[in-house]
Amino acid sequence: MRFAIFGNTYQAKKSSHAETLFKLLEKRGAELSVCREFYHFIASDMKLNIKNIRLFDDDDFDADMVISIGGDGTFLKAANRVGKKNIPILGINTGRLGFLADISPEEMEITFDEIYNNNYKVEERSVLQMSCGNKKIETSPYALNEIAILKRDSSSMISIRTTINGEYLTTYQADGLVIATPTGSTAYSLSVGGPIIVPHSSTIAITPVAPHSLNVRPIVVPDDWEITLEVESRSHNFLVAIDGGNESFNEDDQITIRRADYTVKVVKRFNNVFFNTLRSKMMWGIDSRNGTPTSAPQK
């Protein structure tokens, strides 16, 4: 098999996991391409000597599967590079929470056994696309997690006039607005009070950040609807954050958000169940007094 590998470049203390990954793939005779930035990190900071690999920059690669080793941030960067290539992505988690990168280092060997035996599943995740009239967007306009409209250069709230399919919804008086995919519902959206959405629900969550009115609540709409945003700000500008990358816009810039014309394919083990991941990552049912489950699961 051919693998293209991305990794984070700021966790040298976790070098043993990357070393294990390359050894497992070498043992299986895999053909490896490695992101140049990650390769320089593992060669210089981690002192790993990886042979018989091809280096690539940006999206100049082809593979049967992409491997992201790091946290969900690393996965998002890999997904952005994959774009419309239709290559499935496997996330190995050496970060913290890990909803996208949910394969633990301890599961790597059995996971690759399953992959080579074609015993895995691929989930398709929707992507958002942002446009701004004829203005060129410097960062990538695509988001697997979320697109956030945020205040900038001022402590004052911004006003975000929101229209859906040409129909006026409301004007949010808030610090910002998060437009999230189901995949992104457990990321920034969740931290500002947004709902958790099952990954395959074909919806978009709209959640205000610190709204002025307590009556304003998140709303979930079908993902084939178009969202248009017009922003007013005392500083006459605002920030748009797209999966972590950000760019400044002027208040006369109209933002349009719609579902992209491609999906991101995520590799999962066959035994992966979203609700199990949710309970584990969110520690639902854990007694805070002693760290044990409050009740045993029913069979």
Active-site positions read: 72
> How many separate domains does the chain show?
2
With beta carbons less than 8 A apart as the criterion, state whether 222 and 201 touch.
Answer: no
Indicate the residue type of 55: L
Q: Of 86-100, 126-140, 254-268, which one has max mean pLDDT?
A: 254-268
Model confidence at 291: pLDDT above 90: no
**For 176-187, what is the mean pLDDT?**
97
* pLDDT band, very low/low/confident/very high, at 188 (cuts 50, 70, 90): very high
pLDDT band at 281 (very low <50, low <70, confident <90, very high): confident
Q: Predicted confidence band at 205 (pLDDT cuts at 50, 70, 90)?
A: very high
Q: Is the pLDDT of residue 290 over 70?
A: no
- Give the residue from 85, 101, 118 where a domain finishes: 118
On whether residue 27 sits in a domain, the answer given is yes
Q: Looking at the structure, do residues 154 and 51 belong to the same domain, yes or no?
A: no
Residues 94 and 141 in one domain: no
Burial of 49 (0-12, 13-18, 19+ CB in 10 A): exposed
Kindly state whether residues 106 and 214 are assigned to the same domain: no
- Write down the pLDDT at residue 98: 77
- The pLDDT value given to residue 13: 59
Domain boundary among 118, 142, 174: 118
Averaged over 80-106, what is the pLDDT? 91
Per-residue pLDDT, averaged over 87-114, amounts to 91
Query: Quick one: 112 and 133 in the same domain?
Result: no
Stretch among 9-18, 191-200, 271-280 having the lowest mean pLDDT: 9-18
The pLDDT of residue 105 is: 92
CATH of the domain at 239: 2.60.200.30
Please tell me whether residues 46 and 73 are part of one structural domain.
yes
Nearest Cα residue to 38 out of 80, 86, 77: 77
Residues 244 and 143 in one domain: yes
Q: Is residue 33 a contact partner of residue 3, using CB atoms and an 8 Å limit?
A: yes
* Full residue range of the structural domain in which residue 231 is found: 127-261
pLDDT at 279 exceeding the cut of 90 = no
pLDDT, the chain, mean: 91
Same domain, 182 and 77: no
72 & 175 share domain:
no
pLDDT tens digits for 219-249?
Answer: 999 999 999 999 999 999 999 999 988 999 9
If asked whether residues 102 and 141 sit together in one domain, one would say no
Distance CA 136, CA 176 (A): 22
pLDDT tier at 110 (50, 70, 90 boundaries)?
very high
CATH for 31: 3.40.50.10330
Task: Mark which of 118, 146, 169 sits at the end of a domain.
Answer: 118
Burial code of 138-176, b = ≥16 C-beta within 10 A, e = fewer? ebebbbbbbbbbbbbeeeebbbbebbbeeeeebebbbbb
Q: What is the mean pLDDT of residues 109-124?
A: 96
Residues 6+ apart with CB under 8 A from 21: 5, 67, 69, 92, 108
Residue 297 pLDDT exceeds 80: no
Confidence tier at 41 by pLDDT (50, 70, 90):
confident
Residue 275 pLDDT class (50, 70, 90 cuts):
confident
User: Do 138 and 253 share a domain, yes or no?
Assistant: yes
My answer on whether 136 and 249 are in the same domain is: yes
Q: Does 283 fall in a domain? A: no
Query: What angle in degrees, to the nearest 10, is found between the helix axes of 108-116 and 15-27?
Result: 30
Q: Tens of pLDDT along 12-33?
A: 556 678 889 999 999 999 999 9
